[in-house]
Structure 1
Amino acid sequence: MRTQVVIIGAGPAGLALGRLLEQAGVDAIILERKSANYVLGRIRAGVLEWGSVELLDRAGAGARMHAEGLVHHGTALSFDGDRMHIDFTDLVGKQVMVYGQTEVTRDLMDIRQGTTVYEAEDVQLHDFDGKPWVSYSKDGTTHRIDCDFIAGCDGYHGVSRASLPASAVSTFERVYPFGWLGVLVDKPPVDPELIYAHHERGFALCSQRSPTRSRYYVQVAADEKVEAWSDTRFWDELRRRLDPQTAERIETGESIEKSIAPLRSFVAEPLRFGRLFLAGDAAHIVPPTGAKGLNLALSDVALLGSALIEALQDGSAAGIDTYSVRALERIWKAERFSWWMTSLLHVFPETGDFGRRIQRAEFDYLMGSRAARQSLAENYVGLP
């Protein structure tokens, strides 16, 4: 079998890349080691930069997003009960869209016209410095796909980055000493916009999936077990960390999903290895504080899609030769913003009282400086 591009991974990055390529008439096969139902069962956040919204529109995957997504013109930050509003529209003239990553994946699945092989086992990448090909097993039979390029969109634990010799890639990582305990509940959101809260007991976030479904988070120790948290304990802890007016308005209920997500920052460099390219979580991880994970993945594939189309249809290597540098420039800026938001809003036991006073000074500076709020808004809604 032969195709022009083999895409490893059928998450939003792989599916979006596949869609951009097929719109341009480039043939691509997507290989995914999990089932389609498993992929759609992943619970993920979804705050979309407006550039991501426009990309999904161009891909023809935006109709349900516009019908069901929630446009947010700002967000709220609080510190020990003191609250301020960051007005994106006023500060930078842009907005964000709250629309779950699972729904983005479903929409991209629904419009896909090319071949996607789910439950592809033992995927292996071969000769990506020369004439690349990919092998995999399905229903006990081994298959081979020859191709021009391979796109590794298979996440942090995927085979794409793992196929590289250690000497070929540099990695940069920070693992945070805490995680987010998240609860999904079928109750209306406490506020029309997201609320990020710093409290001496730890960080909290009030988020949402729809007008009737909410997602709430609290900071917990990295070794915390989700079984230790009853719904009652969670709601009590969340209320403690919010300003009194917000805490009083929360509608609690039985959780329909509860999990703990660890926090880490991670970047791999470079992103090109001959005819193999990394994109999305295979290349980078950000803490969820800045809402950048999905947006970075879509930004990567927007660049990569254009580069591959240019190489295959125009015979120009300009795009693929600069993909890694261009993508990493934006990745590191998003890493910086996510690190900054995490540093401002979480409790770091090792920094002590001095660290909290610095955080308070940073919060007060934001409240008093339009320029500081404008910088936050510019990064949150998405850099070009």
Structure 2
Amino acid sequence: MKTRVGIVGAGPSGLLLAQILHNEGIPSVIIEHRSRDYVLERIRAGVIEPGAVATFVEHGVGDRLLCEGLPHQEMQLRWNGQMHRFNQVDEDGRQLTTYGQSAIVRDMIEAREAAGLPILWNAKVDTVEDIEHAPRIHFTRDGQAQTLDCDYVAGCDGFWGVTRGLIPDIDTHMFLKEYPFSWLGILTQSAPNPDKRGYAHSLRGMAVASSRSNTICRHYLQVPPETDVNAWSDDAIWDELDLRFADEGGETLNRGPILSKDVVRLRAFFCDRMRHGRLFIAGDAAHIVPPSGAKGLNLAVGDIRILAEAIRRHVTAGDSGLIENYDATCLQRIRSTVHWSNRLAQTLHIFPGQTDFDTQMQMTTLNKWAHTEAGNREFVQSALGEPYPV
């Protein structure tokens, strides 16, 4: 089997890269370790920056997003018994959109299938040889060893994937932080309460209330790192959410059946080396941000825009400039976004052994974001996202 670009992973990064390349007339094959159903059922965050929305629309996979996505014009922040509303529409009319990541993945899979383009499901990549000159991907599918020859390899296989480890000495180029807490998340069939959304800083721990649609909500509680999700009853989760979101208004979240619940450990990490020879890593394979910033998908879109353009220039004009500067170009946005996401995590969560001094410093930051022009601008612009360099 042979193609121009071998893409490892059928998540948002791999699918978007394949879509952009297809629009440019550059063939690709996607190799995905999991099944189609598994990929479609993964629950991920759904807050999409305006630049990412424009990217999906530009490349023909944004029609449903525009029709069904919920405008995210306001964000609420609660702390110390008070609540502040941030207007998240800037002077240019840019705003966030809520649209589940599983939905955008579905849209891209359906677009690729409608075009008759290949996704190899249940195919486990074993290794890639001759990365420097003529890559050959070795993978196993249906119990049989197979190969894919290509000119470029895109590692879009996530934090636990195989491709990052193929970059020599990658351990010396990785920067990782494990946070001392997890998030207990629920997906619930309930209408969002417009007066109870956003972040809550509480001495009991952080909480998040968000919506996926007019009938589905996604809420989170900060919990200890080794929490057993089954130790929390549905009523206990709702009660704790109401306690953490309590303010002088006295409103509570709208309750409903909990469709699923899980516990996710929080970490932040990035690589300052994202390329070796003709192998490039992107998305979660290259960086993870704590979910408090809702930046994972949006960072991945930035990587893919750069990678797709680098490949296009090399294929059509023999221009290797952007390929050679791929990681440096990506890192301009990655570093600042990881920094913002980490700052949010440091400000909104309660840490083990936290002192009154630490809490007062958090309050100072929250008050600055809410009550100063510079702080408000920083919060809103960071939420909306930096412009993509390419």
TM over 0.5: yes
> Shift in Å at residue 130 of structure 1?
2.0
Whether contact under 8 Å (1:187, 1:251) holds in the other structure is yes
> In 1, distance between residues paired with 2:61 and 2:279?
26
- Whether 1:207 and 2:210 are equivalent positions in the alignment is yes
Q: Which runs of 5+ in 1 are unaligned?
A: none
Partner of residue 179 from structure 2, selected from 153, 167, 176: 176
Instruction: String of CA shifts for 1:229-283, please: whole Å, max 9, x gaps.
Output: 1101101111110134676332212210100111101011211111000100000
TM-score using structure 1 length: 0.97
Whether contact under 8 Å (1:91, 1:373) holds in the other structure is no
> In 2, distance between residues paired with 1:237 and 1:317?
54
Whether contact under 8 Å (2:170, 2:273) holds in the other structure is no
Partner of residue 146 from structure 2, selected from 143, 164, 167: 143
> In 2, distance between residues paired with 1:73 and 1:39?
30
SS at match of 1:248: coil
Whichever residue aligns with residue 152 of structure 2, its letter is F
Distance 1:246 1:105, change over 3 A: farther
- Whether 1:81 and 2:74 are equivalent positions in the alignment is no
Whichever residue aligns with residue 198 of structure 1, its letter is H
1:57 paired residue number: 57
Whichever residue aligns with residue 284 of structure 1, its letter is H
> In 1, distance between residues paired with 2:66 and 2:81?
34
TM-score using structure 2 length: 0.95
Distance 1:124 1:311, change over 3 A: same
Instruction: String of CA shifts for 1:81-117, please: whole Å, max 9, x gaps.
Output: 2111111225664200000000010000011132110
> In 1, distance between residues paired with 2:93 and 2:62?
21
Whether contact under 8 Å (1:75, 1:193) holds in the other structure is no
SS at match of 1:351: coil
1:45 paired residue number: 45
> In 1, distance between residues paired with 2:91 and 2:186?
31
> In 1, distance between residues paired with 2:73 and 2:202?
25
> In 2, distance between residues paired with 1:155 and 1:89?
31
1:263 paired residue number: 266
> Shift in Å at residue 151 of structure 1?
0.4
Distance 1:117 1:200, change over 3 A: same
SS at match of 1:159: coil
> In 1, distance between residues paired with 2:111 and 2:262?
30
Distance 1:211 1:192, change over 3 A: farther
1:225 paired residue number: 228
Matches within 5 A, 1:307-322: 307-322=310-325
Distance 1:271 1:169, change over 3 A: farther
2:133 paired residue number: 130
Instruction: String of CA shifts for 1:290-310, please: whole Å, max 9, x gaps.
Output: 110010011110110011111
> In 2, distance between residues paired with 1:348 and 1:137?
44
2:237 paired residue number: 234
SS at match of 1:71: strand
Whichever residue aligns with residue 84 of structure 1, its letter is H
Distance 1:247 1:306, change over 3 A: farther
SS at match of 1:89: coil
Partner of residue 194 from structure 2, selected from 186, 191, 203: 191
2:375 paired residue number: 372
> In 1, distance between residues paired with 2:75 and 2:142?
49
1:107 paired residue number: 107
SS at match of 1:155: coil
Whichever residue aligns with residue 233 of structure 1, its letter is A
Whether contact under 8 Å (2:167, 2:275) holds in the other structure is no
Instruction: String of CA shifts for 1:195-235, please: whole Å, max 9, x gaps.
Output: 11100100001101000111111100111110111101101
> In 2, distance between residues paired with 1:380 and 1:372?
12
Whether contact under 8 Å (2:95, 2:384) holds in the other structure is yes
Distance 1:92 1:339, change over 3 A: farther
> Shift in Å at residue 74 of structure 1?
2.3
SS at match of 2:338: helix
1:26 paired residue number: 26
> Shift in Å at residue 165 of structure 1?
3.1
Distance 1:273 1:194, change over 3 A: farther
1:16 paired residue number: 16
1:325 paired residue number: 328
Whether contact under 8 Å (2:242, 2:252) holds in the other structure is no
